[in-house]
Amino acid sequence: MKTSHAVLFTILASALVVRHVEAHHSFAPVYDAKRTIVVEGVVKEFRFINPHALMLMDVADDTGKVVTWTVEFAGRLNLGEGGWNERTVTPGQKVTVTGNPTHTNSPRMFFLHLVRADGSELFPPSKARQDAIEEQRRQRARERTDGKQ
């Protein structure tokens, strides 16, 4: 089966960048939090394990050569809290994944966002927490403003 065409580019979508408040173990030695890349491919395997869940995906470059990428997630203990399970990502799915690249630009990334072919999306479980906190902050700002009036 021919894999999807690979797309690698840096994006400026700061809204997608969920900080690694839940990142397990040492993130900085391997991944570059200041850069973001997007990769399209087909899922080979999803390992829902501790301490880090992993996904292997086949990605074709511009010449058609297929490279297997590793996408690293937080551990099962973290993803499970957000409702993920072994079937959240399944082999054969066409996916577009956004993540932080390695410092060495090897075929490996730390997960930030995934879009399936049907348009459904996956975010790290920490996004719901971040959204709730930002809403509380907006409320706090409104109350501060109201208090001055």
Partner 1 sequence: MRQCLAIAIVAALTAVPATSQSHSNFEGMWSDPPFTAEDTFCAAWCTDVGLARLEALLDNPANDKRPFADLSAEAERYQRDQYIRPHLSDANVKKFPLDPAADPGFLRCEPWGVARQIAARHQLQIRQTGRDRLDLRYGEWDAHRTVYLDGRQRPAGQAPTAMGFSVGHYEGGMLVIETTGIAANLTSYSSDHSDRLRIVERYTRSSDGKRLSLTATLDDPVSLRQPIELKKVWSWAPTSEIAPYKGCQRPTEFSTGK
Residues that bind partner 1 (CB under 8 A): 18-19, 21-22, 25-30, 32, 47, 49-52, 54, 76-78, 80-81, 102-104, 106, 108, 128-130, 132-134, 136-137, 140-141, 144
Given the complex with partner 1, which of 13 and 128 has the nearer CB atom? 128
Give least dist CB 139 to partner 1, A: 11
Residues 6+ apart with CB under 8 A from 100: 31, 32, 33, 35, 36, 37, 109, 110, 112
Closest CA to 76 of 28, 40, 114, 22: 22
Rounded CA Rg of the chain = 17
CB of 3 to partner 1, least distance (A): 23
Give 63 or 145: the residue with its C-beta nearer to partner 1.
Answer: 145
